[in-house]
Every structure is written in C-alpha cells, then in structure tokens.
C-alpha cells in the first residue's frame, strides 16, 4: 500500500515484476515508456545503489524515448508489465495498492543467478565446471563467447549494442567519477587457445536458445541484465576480472571490433 502527499514523485525506473496498481484515493500520474527505450535513459549499473533507476529523467530524455501518460483516479487499475520504465507523481494526496508477481524473465534470471557461472556458460559444463578454469583462461573464453552470443542475437537486438550500453551509458562519466573509476587500469586480454575457441563457439547456439522465450521488446534490457549477472559470477571467482566496465571495455570490445 502506498500513501503519500501531493507532489511526491519517484525517479524514472523499472521493476522486475508485473504490477497490478489500483488507485483508491486521489489522483496519481504515471509516465511510462517501453523497455526498448531503456538505453536512452542510462540506467545505473547493478552494483550502484540506484540500480534499476535512470540517470536521465523524462524531462531530460531525448526525443527517441516514447512516453505514455496515465492519470489514475479512484477505481482505476493500471497493469504495468515488468521492465517497463515509469515515473510516478502524486497529483493530490493519494492511497494506492500495488499487487506484484515475478515475471517469467525475472524468474529466468534468478535461475541463472542461483545456478552459478556454469548455468550461464554452457561450455563450462562440458569441461570440468567453473573450477577447472583459471581467470586467464576464462577471460580469454569470454572475449569470444560474448561477441559471438551478441552476434547471434543481433537480428532481435536491432541497433542496440549491449556492451556499449553498459560501458558508455550505464557506466557514464558521472557514475565513473562518483565510484572512483580508475581509467588508467589495464586488463590483461589474453588470446584463447584453438581448442577452447572451438568449445566456446559450439556452445553459443545453446546459450542463445535460452533467450528464445524472451519477447523482442524485452530482449535488449534482458541481455544487458544477463551480461551484468555474468560479470558478477565471474568476479566472485576471479576478482581481477572485476564487475565494472574494464573487462567489457578493453577486452570484449576489442574482440568484437
């Protein structure tokens, strides 16, 4: 239940669950945009305290961001699907009730999170598990795996480049300054062995298959969330690879180019 005074406003953000939002008292205004527009709003990275919130408000958003407006009055019900971006303002004193349930996409991400690195990278399951790969070998494999996976998904991703979204938009200049990002740090981007390259490339179609149930309008934000989850898994085993933009920026970006 939400109770608030007139003028209370949320930041622009998205939630990982489906939401039935019922207005009981007063008027509340929703501004809503589809998940495919998230890159224009520069969502904060997962490890930031403002994760899932936008660095750019709707007032500052470029024209490419599509907006729907809904003024909810007592008795109105809004269905807000997971990952749809929104900003909410109480026009008057308000009382609202929100009933949420995890989306299928969120449950899939949670399954990948609970399954660890091997569940996210099929080639690990066939080669002794994540424990059999040291940081250097795993890093070289990811340099091949990530660009190959994105290339396979590119017909559905359109012009959106998930690596660019993470390294340039989510990890914006403001976020880098705030988090003390060390721009001078250099990653050791090692070359993959022929045997590992073959193993990785054979696993890419199977990895891409798990994205088949994801709707096209949700796929860009889901793939970005998957890459962030992958970074978290990797950094837990090999902290030197990190969860910031360094590895994607210096190693994966050069391989993709």
What does the pLDDT look like over 109-156, one tens digit per residue? 998 888 888 888 989 877 777 778 888 899 999 999 999 999 999 999
Sorted by where each begins, the domain ranges of the chain are: 2-102, 104-256
Asked if residue 231 has pLDDT above 90, the reply is no
- For 56-62, which contacts have Cβ atoms below 8 Å and span 24 or more sequence positions? 56/12, 57/11, 57/12, 57/87, 58/12, 58/31, 58/33, 58/87, 61/12
Task: For domain 2-102, give the CATH superfamily.
Answer: Cupin (2.60.120.650)
What does the pLDDT look like over 66-124, one tens digit per residue? 999 999 999 999 999 999 999 999 999 999 999 999 999 999 999 888 888 888 898 98
Q: How far is CA 220 from the centre of its chain?
A: 8
Q: What is the DSSP letter of 226?
A: H
Please choose, from the candidates 107, 92, 120, the residue with its C-alpha nearest in 3D space to the C-alpha of residue 8: 92
pTM for the predicted model, two decimal places? 0.89
Q: What is the Cα–Cα distance from 8 to 53, expressed in whole angstroms?
A: 17
What does the pLDDT look like over 191-222, one tens digit per residue? 999 999 999 999 999 999 989 999 998 999 99
């Amino acid at each position: 239940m939400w109770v608030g005074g007139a003028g209370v406003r949320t930041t622009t953000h998205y939630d990982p669950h489906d939401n039935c939002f019922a207005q009981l008292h007063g008027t509340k205004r929703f501004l809503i945009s589809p998940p495919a527009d998230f890159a224009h709003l520069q969502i904060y990275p997962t490890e930031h305290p403002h994760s899932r919130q936008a660095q750019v408000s709707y007032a500052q958003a470029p024209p490419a961001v599509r907006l729907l407006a809904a003024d909810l009055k007592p008795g109105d019900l809004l269905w807000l699907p997971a990952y749809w971006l929104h900003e909410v303002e109480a026009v008057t004193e308000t009382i609202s009730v929100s009933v949420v349930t995890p989306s299928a996409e969120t449950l899939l991400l949670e399954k990948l999170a609970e399954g660890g690195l091997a569940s996210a990278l099929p080639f690990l399951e066939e080669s002794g598990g994540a424990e059999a790969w040291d940081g250097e070998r795993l890093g070289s494999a990811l340099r091949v795996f990530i660009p190959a996976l994105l290339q396979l998904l590119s017909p559905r991703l359109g012009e959106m480049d998930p690596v660019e979204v993470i390294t340039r938009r989510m990890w914006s200049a403001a976020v880098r300054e705030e988090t003390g990002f060390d721009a001078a740090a250099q990653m050791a981007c090692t070359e993959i062995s022929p045997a590992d390259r073959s193993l990785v490339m054979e696993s890419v179609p199977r990895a891409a298959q798990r994205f088949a149930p994801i709707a096209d309008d949700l796929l860009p934000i889901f793939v970005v969330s998957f890459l962030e989850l992958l970074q978290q898994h990797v950094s837990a085993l090999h902290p030197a690879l990190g969860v910031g933009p360094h590895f994607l920026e210096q190693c994966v970006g050069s391989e993709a180019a």
